[in-house]
Amino acid sequence: MQTSSLRRQVKNMVNNYSEAEIKVREATSNDPWGPPSTLMSEIADLTFNVVAFTEVMGMIWKRLNDHGKNWRHVYKALTLLDYLVKTGSERVAQQCRENIFTVQTLRDFQFTDRDGRDQGVNVREKAKQLVGLIRDEEKLKQERSQALKTKERMARGAASMGSASMPPPYPGRRTSHPGTGSGHGSHEEFSRSRGSPSSFHCELQHIGIFCYMSCMLFYV
């Protein structure tokens, strides 16, 4: 596992990020490759859940406000936002229109790396493309129709192979008082979604990662 991935997992645990926030962070990481289409599809599905929608968009706006060496956060957040506008809830486009200034400012994004390469050009072009799409309602309608048809076709293909199933209830954020429940999902839902042996093994792995990173920080 890469150091960047370990560090991201530790931050996820320390900041108690929700499932939706973790997925967005993964899709918009500083890793030198684009966000996986399967992950973006999962995030798009989450935007139809009221709680998850707020978490997804909150993390995206946070990523869009990054700058400098974190230019990949910005570029990938724009890429994800473009995907969500086309295949996610219609509320995504609505919120983009309400916050259009944030996306517009990225048309002037600047960052040159140590090798003298203009890494901001991709951000600027993506921002221009997204602003144009958000403002053109007719074009957006056509793009959504085409993208949703493609997504449905892929879903039917997965169903015919027997790999499709209904997603579990969205558990939301882990609370410090699980017995009381919250608007992010009840303790029962949280336990049901994480009660398998593989999930337990994953929790142990996360604890081990956290201890490992803590030791690294202590000895540095």
Cβ-proximal residues to 6 (8 Å cutoff; 6+ apart), any chain: 209, 212, 213
The alpha-helical segments, DSSP class H, found in the chain are 3-14, 19-27, 37-46, 50-64, 71-87, 90-98, 100-105, 120-135, 137-160, 187-194, 197-219
Q: Over the stretch 93-135, which tens digit does the pLDDT of each residue have?
A: 999 999 999 999 999 999 999 999 999 999 999 999 999 999 9
The model's pTM is: 0.74
Query: Could you give the 3-state DSSP secondary structure of residue 180?
Result: coil
Q: Provide the token pair at 8.
A: 């991201």
In angstroms, rounded to a whole number, what is the distance separating the alpha carbons of residues 61 and 187?
29
Q: One digit per residue, pLDDT tens: the chain, 220 residues?
A: 567 778 888 888 988 999 999 999 999 999 999 999 999 999 999 999 999 999 999 999 999 999 889 999 999 999 999 999 999 999 999 999 999 999 999 999 999 999 999 999 999 999 999 999 999 999 999 999 999 888 888 778 777 776 555 566 777 776 544 444 444 443 333 333 333 344 434 444 544 555 555 554 444 4
The domains located in the chain, with CATH, are 18-173 (1.25.40.90)
Tokens of 185: 């999902």
Report long-range pairs for 64-67 (Cβ below 8 Å, ≥24 apart). 64/102, 64/103, 64/106, 65/102, 67/109, 67/111
Q: What are the residues facing 118 on neighbouring strands?
A: 112
